[in-house]
Amino acid sequence: MTERSIGVGVVGLGFMGRTHVGAYRAAAEGGSPNRLVAVCDAVPERRAGRVGAAGNLEGEEREERLFDPADVRAYEHPAELFADAEVELVSICTPTDSHVSLAIAALEAGKHVLVEKPVALRAADVERLVAAAKAASTLCMPAHCMRFWPGWDWLHERVRSGDLGAVRSAVFRRLASPPAWSPDFYADAARTGGALVDLHIHDADFVRWCFGEPDEVHATGNLDHLTTLYRYADGPAHVVAEGGWDHTSGFNFQMRFVVVFEQATAEFDLARDPQLTLSRGGETSAVELPEGDGYLGEVRHLLDAVRSGKGGLRCTLDDALGVARLLERELEQLQI
């Protein structure tokens, strides 16, 4: 039996919007039927499918069209896209301070929603979307892509299963130069929350997913570069995450973890081949990973949930609210 195709709309065609368009396309090619039927952006060139500079994970500017404007309806205003009857699922990929209002509007229009991280800068604003989602008949999932990233989902399973023993130490590192796309937006910490909220959030969320809510947090640094120690009364003795985007231009993006279990050590490095290795018994071996990335994983997961009608999301708005509250705890300790 052929699975039905889901009509998709993407609001905001900056770096993340382009990433979502590509992820939906890859999902369709990989057997999760969906079709991009509409996009929305205030910039005419983007509405015509012309793309600009790439982000941290891609170093080159691309010239090809993101989509064929003859096949995809392009709107200037989000309300027009939300009114499109062929759009069943909407990705919200606009600046952070518009996420909550747009996601609520999409839910009220009867759409399923994938809302980019961070959902909001403040937990109180995330609470508004939590309430709206509970009142809606459709799904709303925050785009916490590390929960779906090959190697990182593997790590979560190892932590939860205990098949390598208990975790003794877990260290996460995510470092970059300032984002080259939307420079005016990313230069304004009042809108982005700095690296704390826009970059470090990935590892803070992953720590919560693996180990639960920490009993204590000890953070040092500033909005653009910080290190946080998470303390657990009943859990690993050493959990640390460093995140920063204050490196000079040309610095290569780093996304790494080193996790020490009782019986093995797992290491992931995005810039290395193989990306994930496991050391035990005096030997180090590569862990085979599926193709794709967390963006593909998250859209495929939500498409499957929409089709099944059963929910069961791997990442929920309650998770987004929890990490927002955790980041507020960290913010209180930073030297700003």
Instruction: Encode pLDDT of 49-90 as tens digits.
Output: 997 644 555 444 445 899 999 999 999 999 999 999 999 999
Given a cut of 70, whether residue 335 has pLDDT beyond it is no
Q: For the chain, how long is the longest CA-to-CA vector?
A: 60
Return the bridge partners of 244, or none: 175, 225
Beta strands, E only, the chain:
6-11, 34-40, 73-75, 89-92, 112-116, 140-143, 167-175, 216-222, 225-231, 238-244, 254-261, 265-269, 276-280, 283-286
pLDDT at 53: 47
pTM of the model: 0.94
| End-to-end Cα separation, the chain, in angstroms | 57
Residues 6+ apart with CB under 8 A from 264: 164, 165, 278, 279, 280
Q: Determine the average pLDDT of the residues in 165-174.
A: 98
Given a cut of 70, whether residue 114 has pLDDT beyond it is yes
pLDDT grade for 1, boundaries at 50, 70 and 90: low
Given a cut of 90, whether residue 181 has pLDDT beyond it is no
3-state secondary structure 171-212: EEEEECCCCCCCHHHHCCHHHHCHHHHHCCHHHHHHHHHHHC
pLDDT at 61: 47
pLDDT at 51: 77
Residues of each domain in the chain carrying CATH 3.30.360.10? 151-289
Instruction: Return the number of other C-beta atoms located less than 10 Å from residue 336's C-beta.
Output: 13
- Asked if omega into 95 is within 30° of 0 (cis), the reply is no
* Mean of per-residue pLDDT scores for the chain: 95
CATH classification (class only), 6-144+295-314: alpha beta
* CA angle at 209 for the pair 255 and 304, rounded to the nearest 5°: 90
Report the percent of the chain where pLDDT is more than 70: 96
pLDDT at 134: 97
Q: How far apart are CA 299 and CA 148, in angstroms?
A: 10
Instruction: Return the number of other C-beta atoms located less than 10 Å from residue 126's C-beta.
Output: 24
Give the architecture-level CATH label for domain 151-289: 2-Layer Sandwich (3.30)
Q: Which two tokens stand for residue 294?
A: 């967390």
Q: Strand, coil or helix: what is 263?
A: coil
Q: How far apart are CA 7 and CA 11, in angstroms?
A: 14
Residues of each domain in the chain carrying CATH 3.40.50.720? 6-144+295-314
Q: Strand, coil or helix: what is 125?
A: helix
Q: Which two tokens stand for residue 206?
A: 């992953």
For residue range 315-329, what is the model confidence (pLDDT) as tens digits? 999 999 999 999 999
Given a cut of 70, whether residue 224 has pLDDT beyond it is yes
pLDDT grade for 254, boundaries at 50, 70 and 90: very high
